[in-house]
Structure 1
């Protein structure tokens, strides 16, 4: 595709905004449409705050079906399934189960690591280029193990980290405290940890809003409070997008609507297995900085991430499969409250915490969906699951390269929707 084309992006979350920024920087005329009044008000609003290439792994893996049964029975379990009469949900779950083999896990992870690491590098370059600030910290991630069996079971994870050259540290109790001094007051509650020093943290909402302003400086037009009603096509191309403001036309179109992407493209005959998996978070004001985390601590027992964001603590977790519901359940907050108060009892004021949920756009195999479709001018950038923040800048840059007729810096051939034409989709 030649330079200086007119591009219409559907969605203003972190994926849509990074796509807009990199496309505009490449010289394209970009418009972004969203139903919300400003950027990053849905899934990008209050996620766990991690930029964690080292933890870029598929949820579908060997042993997960057995673990899932255990998680469903735990009081503070990380998995919740609320069954619905929805064939899309059950087909998606079956596809995920089919990916729970060692062979498929290896393939899927090999597709996730490159885009995640490339994205981290793009984010660092972006900070260098424009000085964007978003309560960022570059102090790594500590996966904290409460039990010796968890620590003993890290061999497979470490083998994968070695395979991809990801720096890591296996820490005993004292090593964990050296990385996160506030844990000294609860040292009897854990035995050790696995630290990834190259991981970063930051406020995704703050980042996305700041980058949207930078995009506007490059000429990007944002159309907010605008419903997206459907995509209009002829036999081989998109001819426009029906919106609350009328039919919008462009040369190229990008769907970056997270969990709603699959619903929008389904009438076009595009089978996109992206389904919402709800996550929850609380944001807690810090009352004692010496009792708060320095970076991110992953509480392995409850699969809860506890992250320092400026003068706040973001606590995120839970995988709830309940369709498109955004209902807040008190039991999910209880799990988050328990984890942070157990490990950082002096850090935050839970009485002033805000409670939130967002719908992560998950694929059944793990990697996102980036690139072309059967329609020559329709492109996807969606399905990033829990790693939208981690993979956002790389995904935006890759998409900009594709639409500019350039070869991306990493191999993206296995990230398109075409991979679902194969047996294991």
Structure 2
């Protein structure tokens, strides 16, 4: 079987790897000159199954206006003359009910924990990838009086799903992250989540692509995909700037750009680009820099140690397919990391980046079959692309190759939006 995978971000690359493991002949098409150069390039650096939670939760409608009015708030909406933007916002608001949140949370956790099992299996098989990886968990420092109360609510949810956590006193927080002793914000305690991991997603993707190459995967970079061709019953070819390409099956893993290819086929994917920002700064003082990863609840940013670098990432901006670096968003990221680790980084050498997260209104990816029997989806992972990449890649590979997925897939396919 010849399978063509569209996209070589971490999700597409993982899909190609698992397809090759099952004996498929795999071709990967990518417009960039290498793997992992778009949304996977400079994300927060977190593999965070514990934080696999829907953006749409019951508190969002009440907080949204406050966020929009706060110049450092995590949410920005730039209205577009775009039906799909407004529809996505409306569908997200409909998912802010408690029953919808609980349903979506269960689906996301199942995927994230299954994906974590694949990361663990990698290590158990002796597969070593060089990506500045660590398995030291995530820290939530309490920097405001309300943080402890919010963490207790989070702890109740974690306990409900039997996920481990530990509440910490101030000295226990400093034992995990000594650099916080220099913070300009008061440190009131914290919570630690031991299951989470960290690393450089771009490095991981390029290493995984190289490993897939040893299994025979043919990565074709610099290829512009124009459209998918169909005879009305199945996909017959891919039209590219380098000619027509034919396969037996096709997997769409183009993130935010996936809907642009499926709409002409009559498949309306509820995936919208939500822009995130990051900064990367060299470590100036290793002892005063973060040791693993932590979440700054004031700005909703993640701060992660990646070898000799510090990465800070966050914000959510709805502005269409726009990757402009807005100075206000960048200033918020810098304020977050520099206030907590003032001596940790060389802040004269900051590199900024933005990427488009492919979000669904319920935050759950779209994976599996479509109305065309040889077209499969693996898209819509939002902020959890790396977290869920190995799990969704393996599930889709099992499906395409005629196997049975190892976990329940009800509610993960496009069918949940077309019923």
Q: TM-score range by the shorter chain?
A: over 0.9
Match of 2:167 among 164, 167, 170: 170
Residue 381 (structure 1) aligned with residue 378 (structure 2):
yes
| 2:348 counterpart SS class | helix
Q: Distance in 1 between matches of 2:398 and 2:308?
A: 37
* Unmatched segments (≥5 aa) in structure 2: none
Distance 2:314 2:47 in 1: 15
Distance 1:218 1:206 in 2: 19
Please name the residue that 1:147 is paired with.
144
**Aligned: 1:313 with 2:310:** yes
CA shift for structure 1 position 94: 0.4
* From 106, 111, 122, the counterpart of 2:107: 111
Q: Which residue does 1:193 correspond to in 2?
A: 190
For the 8 Å contact 2:182–2:343, the answer to whether it is kept is: no
Tell me which moved more, 127-136 or 208-217.
127-136
Compare 120-129 and 195-204 and name the one that shifted more: 120-129
404-413 or 18-27, larger mean C-alpha shift: 404-413
Displacement after TM superposition at 1:231 (Å): 0.5
In the other structure, the counterpart of 1:134 is 131
- Residue matched to 1:19: 15
Moved more, 237-246 or 149-158: 149-158
Question: In 1, are the aligned partners of 2:256 and 2:380 still within 8 Å (CA)?
Answer: yes
CA contact (8 A) 1:133 1:207 kept: yes
- Give the secondary-structure state (helix, strand or coil) at the position aligned to 1:60: coil
Cα displacement (A) at 1:42 = 0.5
Aligned to 1:277: 274
Q: Does 1:364 align with 2:361?
A: yes
Could you tell me which residue of structure 2 aligns to residue 336 of structure 1? 333
Q: CA deviation at 1:77?
A: 1.1
List per-residue Cα deviations over 1:163-200 (Å, max 9, x = no partner): 22111011222221122111122385231222101100
Paired position in structure 2 for 1:286:
283
Tell whether the 8 Å contact from 2:185 to 2:339 is kept in structure 1 after alignment: no
Matched, 1:297 2:285: no
The counterpart of 1:323, out of the listed 297, 320, 324, is 320
What is the CA deviation profile of residues 191-236 of structure 1, one whole-angstrom value per residue up to 9, with x for unaligned ones? 1222101100010000000111111100000111111000111122
User: What is the number of residues matched between the two proteins?
Assistant: 418
Quote the offset at 1:421 in angstroms.
1.8
Q: Distance in 2 between matches of 1:300 and 1:113?
A: 21
**Corresponding position: 1:392 with 2:389:** yes
Superposed counterparts of 1:32-181, under 5 Å:
32-129=28-125, 130-181=127-178
RMSD: 1.1
Q: TM-score, normalised by structure 1?
A: 0.97
**1:217-232 aligned within 5 A:** 217-232=214-229
Secondary structure at 1:134's aligned position in 2?
Answer: coil
With 86-95 and 149-158 compared, the bigger mean Cα shift is at 149-158
Look up the match of 1:248. Answer: 245
- TM-score with structure 2 length normalisation? 0.98
